[in-house]
Amino acid sequence: MNRQHGPAVARARSAFLSTHPELLTEWRTMQRRIVEHVREPRTSDLDGAPSTIPAHFYTDPARFEAEQASVFAELPLLAGFSGDVPEPGDRLLFDEAGPPILIVRDRDRRVRAFLNLCPHRGARLVESCDPGRMLTCPFHGWSFELDGRLAGIPHAAAFEGIDRDALRLVELPAEEWHGMLFVCGKPEAKLDVEGYLGPIAPLCAALELEKLERVRLDRFEVESNWKIALDTFCENYHVPALHRNSLNRNLLSYVTIFDHYGRHHRYSGPGDDFLEIAGKPEDEWPGDGYQAVHYLFPNTIISYTHAFDGETPVVATFRVFPGQSVGDSVTLGATYRRSDAAEASDDLIGQMHDIVLDIVRNEDYRVAREAFRSLSHAPPGFRLTLGRTEPLLRAYHQELATVTGLPID
């Protein structure tokens, strides 16, 4: 759908945000913290003490295999949002975590996940996201209901006597929670998304991600360890230097607030509009404009921001996965609009998507690629240093070490 800019954008934006008191309250608290930092002398949140991390944390093949086995095969992973499969028969392909996973919305509007595997001869069952009332294998034409039951077999006489009930698709744990679709690649796993999200769950619910409509999705690979690629999204200390001619043009350098929610985190770096806000009394501050980067362990970034019109809420997501080897990774980058606050056109949001992904590919991932190459040749005992404005890196690295059972050192 392609909605054009409305005549009363500012009023529409205020009306939208006034219906979300939790987010308004949260944003006002964040504004106070940011303004305190912006007022001279300019400061930033600082956390803990500087620390170090060994180079082999990124380059060790054994650690890489442990992360795949203990993290990506065992934990709930964000596969998409409700808006990716809004209607019965819609489907989503999710291969990046390892097993080929097919996500569908069935006739009862329940979200289900299956191994994308035909039980007849093992062919890939679904090859595209085109919607349909049946799931039909391209190899021999076997068809399945949206709940995984076998529906039809061409030339059925050749299979007389088989147990049709046993030839269901292999179902995987899946849960739709406040617009987020989580799956796990192990059939025997139990999902408890709210429990997994823990203290960040109320914030995720307040974002109302069930109202997202996807505008664009891109998949791209980089020759770097997945953690190096993900690190670039987990701090903005690098923005003034690496993005001085792009993202940093409208941001205040070296000002960040961050919060820890158990194994998940959030940070926000203010735009230059806070220079004006900081000079006003609080009762004159704008009451809308929530924007922050949310990190969900182990690999997901959800950036809540606005389109280039400065008004339309936009959610950009990045999910980073291990590739085929320790030095390869895959990223899914997507941009969504809100269905109830859509003023900017899809073309405008698409332009934003392209610009942001161009920055990620050509700036962040250029550095990530070269960093892995350099670290692969680092001498034994070589360590990297994390500062007090990079606490999210230290925290999620430690969580990875806990889950894999492999200490960072």
181-192 pLDDT, tens digit each: 999 999 999 999
**What are residue 368's phi and psi, to 5 degrees?**
-60, -40
Query: What are 144's strand-pairing partners?
Result: 135, 150
Torsion region of 321: left, alpha or beta (phi above 0 gives left; psi -120 to 50 gives alpha): beta
How far, rounded to the nearest angstrom, does the alpha carbon of residue 94 sit from its chain's CA centroid?
A: 13
What spatial distance separates the first Cα and last Cα of the chain, rounded to whole Å?
51
What sign for the dihedral angle of Cα 316, 319, 323, 325? positive
Q: Does the predicted TM-score (pTM) go above 0.85?
A: yes
Give the DSSP H/E element, type plus range, for residue 36.
helix 21-38
Q: Write the pLDDT tens digit of every residue in 81-109.
A: 999 999 999 999 999 999 999 999 999 99
CB 311 within 8 A of CB 16: no
CB 329 within 8 A of CB 371: no
**What are residue 75's phi and psi, to 5 degrees?**
-95, 155
CB 111 within 8 A of CB 128: no
Torsion region of 192: left, alpha or beta (phi above 0 gives left; psi -120 to 50 gives alpha): beta
Q: How many whole angstroms separate alpha carbon 186 and alpha carbon 172?
A: 6
Alpha helices in 44-87 (DSSP H): 56-59, 61-67
- 1 vs 159, 334, 346, 408, CA distance in Å? 45, 16, 7, 47
What integer pLDDT is reported at residue 7 of this predicted model? 30
Q: How many whole angstroms separate alpha carbon 401 and alpha carbon 407?
A: 5
Q: How many whole angstroms separate alpha carbon 77 and alpha carbon 71?
A: 9
Residue identified by tokens 């670039």 is 232
Got the DSSP string for 369-388? HHHHHHHTTPPTT-EEEE-T
pLDDT digit string (tens) for the chain, length 409 residues: 333 223 333 333 443 444 578 888 999 999 999 999 999 888 999 998 999 999 999 999 999 999 999 999 999 999 999 999 999 999 999 999 999 999 999 999 999 999 999 999 999 999 999 999 999 999 999 999 999 999 999 999 999 999 999 999 999 999 999 999 999 999 999 999 999 999 999 999 999 999 999 999 999 999 999 999 999 999 999 999 999 999 888 899 999 999 999 999 999 999 999 999 999 999 999 887 899 999 999 999 999 988 777 778 899 999 999 999 999 999 999 999 988 875 778 888 999 999 999 999 999 999 999 999 999 999 999 999 999 999 999 999 999 999 999 999 8
Q: How many whole angstroms separate alpha carbon 153 and alpha carbon 140?
A: 8
Domains and CATH numbers, the chain: 9-61+198-404 (3.90.380.10), 82-190 (2.102.10.10)
CB 109 within 8 A of CB 179: no
Looking at residue 251, what DSSP letter applies? B
Q: How many whole angstroms separate alpha carbon 397 and alpha carbon 391?
A: 10
Residue 41: asked if its preceding bond is cis (omega within 30°), the reply is: yes
Query: What are 216's strand-pairing partners?
Result: 335
Residue identified by tokens 């690190």 is 231
Pull the structure tokens for residue 191: 């999902």
Selection from 256, 253, 235 nearest residue 395 by Cα = 235
Q: Write the pLDDT tens digit of every residue in 224-272.
A: 999 999 999 999 999 999 999 998 888 999 999 999 999 999 999 999 9
Look up residue 105 and give its amino acid: R
